[in-house]
Amino acid sequence: MSSEKYKTSRLKRFWKKLGPGLVTGASDDDPSGIATYSQAGAAFGLSTLWTAIVAFPLMASIQQMCARIGLVTSMGLTGTLKKHYPRPILYLMLVFSFPAIVMNIGADIAGMGAVGNLLFPSIDAAFFSVFFTVLLLGLIIYLPYVKIAAVLKYTCVVMLVYFIVPFLYKQNLSEILWATFIPSIQFNEEFIAILVGILGTTISPYLFFWQASVEVEEMKNKKKHLMVNKKIIHDMKQDVDFGMTFSGLVMYFIILTTGTVLFNSGVYQIDTVEQAAIALKPLAGNMAYLLFAIGVIGTGLIAIPVLSGSLSYIFTETFGWEQGLDKKFHEAKGFYVIIALSLLVGLLLNYVGISPIKALIYTAILYGITAPVLIAIILHISNNKKIMGDFVNDRLSNFLGGIALLIMSVAAGALIYMQFT
């Protein structure tokens, strides 16, 4: 076999290994996340660029734990909580998760609709919001899991556009390197708030539930009912690490784009993804504007199925209903009804006076409160030999998980303090 063919073969094998981790990472950079990163770059230039480097190992460690829980227990995170922990904890997670995820869906639908209107000004944004909602609902209900997974996986390629956008504008390499590796912190309310927002949108509880449940789906699809072994765990880690790296790079390049193009041009206030796209147009050119806008729609198409799917897994595992994207509608009606309701309620939020920005704020607050509790529980499960057997956390996982717990707890405290002072 020639060297070129061997490399192609290796690349194909690696691509086949990628799945839940890649999709989870890509969904982390949803339209609401893009709005947060754009706001950080516009308001503070490159001062928050280092957060992408810091966030990566924390995101990866928590998502690996969730994936391992799913693989070892053959249950989602909710099922594991239900089996091994007091019911009040489970119901508390349910109460907090539903409104946060639905508002996140609503904000993402609104962002996609607004960007659709930018690309085709003659068509109202509301039409695009409805169109994307119906499209996603149809795809989720009628496509089997194998095809849904493939669609989500290949849609991730769209996000590569964010790696191009910064290079359509003249950059200062030394300034970028300094901001990347030398943390800069401003001790004022606005900067702390944006740090909390970045943490809230990168380490989000819905991703914990999705990762564990979709690993179970993946195993069922591959008909791997054998005992989990080191190779399966190794492949999962590769998948998660690649997905989180991909997510971190997208986050990095969005902050880089807005932190150079917008901040250096005096555009300091960005509240929505469409504002970011519009602001880029005269400063970085039509191509940057177009690629940025296309990326928003692509990320929404990935993130909304993950958001609605995670919520449905939470409900169905809580109440013991049939579940799974591999099942047809008549086999798991409750599962698909919850997905449909979450999409429709999210869409309706745009018509009842709740602005996307307020929805993002409320979502961040709820995520900020629940994330530390969930991380603590995930750490406890991952170190419980009765549940995990030989696949408990190693020292590095516990160290990174502990740092994530500490940072998210401080962020939650800061978030609550800022809301009431």
What does the pLDDT look like over 148-167, one tens digit per residue? 666 666 666 666 677 777 77
Looking at residue 222, what is its pLDDT? Answer: 65
- For 401, the token pair is 């998980």
Question: CA 2 from chain center: how many Å?
Answer: 39
- Contacts of 318 by beta carbon, 8 Å cutoff, 6+ apart: 78, 82, 90, 91, 94
153: number of CA atoms within 13 Å, CB side? 16
Q: What angle do CA 298, 204, 318 make, to 5 degrees?
A: 105
Residue 3 has pLDDT above 70, yes or no: no
Asked, for residue 1, whether it belongs to a domain, the answer is no
Looking at residue 324, what is its pLDDT? Answer: 83
- Residue 292's pLDDT band (boundaries 50, 70, 90)? confident
Asked, for residue 2, whether it belongs to a domain, the answer is no
- Residue 239's pLDDT band (boundaries 50, 70, 90)? confident
Looking at residue 149, what is its pLDDT? Answer: 65
Domain span holding position 374: 17-419
- Residue 17's pLDDT band (boundaries 50, 70, 90)? low
Q: Can you give the CATH number for the domain in which 381 is found?
A: 1.10.4160.10
Asked, for residue 364, whether it belongs to a domain, the answer is yes
Asked, for residue 12, whether it belongs to a domain, the answer is no
The residue-averaged pLDDT of 228-239 equals 81
Nearest by Cα to 41 from 208, 253, 206, 222: 253
Check residues 103 and 168 and name the one with the higher pLDDT: 103
Residue 5 has pLDDT above 60, yes or no: no
Asked, for residue 4, whether it belongs to a domain, the answer is no
Asked, for residue 227, whether it belongs to a domain, the answer is yes
Looking at residue 242, what is its pLDDT? Answer: 84
What is the total residue count of the chain?
421
The residue-averaged pLDDT of 57-63 equals 91
Helices within 268-394 (DSSP H only): 273-284, 286-319, 333-348, 356-382, 385-388
Asked, for residue 308, whether it belongs to a domain, the answer is yes
Asked, for residue 3, whether it belongs to a domain, the answer is no
Looking at residue 412, what is its pLDDT? Answer: 75
Task: State the total domains in the chain.
Answer: 1
- Residue 30's pLDDT band (boundaries 50, 70, 90)? confident
The residue-averaged pLDDT of 23-32 equals 74
Distances (CA, A) of 225 to 210, 222, 275, 391: 20, 9, 49, 17
Nearest by Cα to 22 from 241, 234, 308: 241
pTM reported for the whole predicted model? 0.85
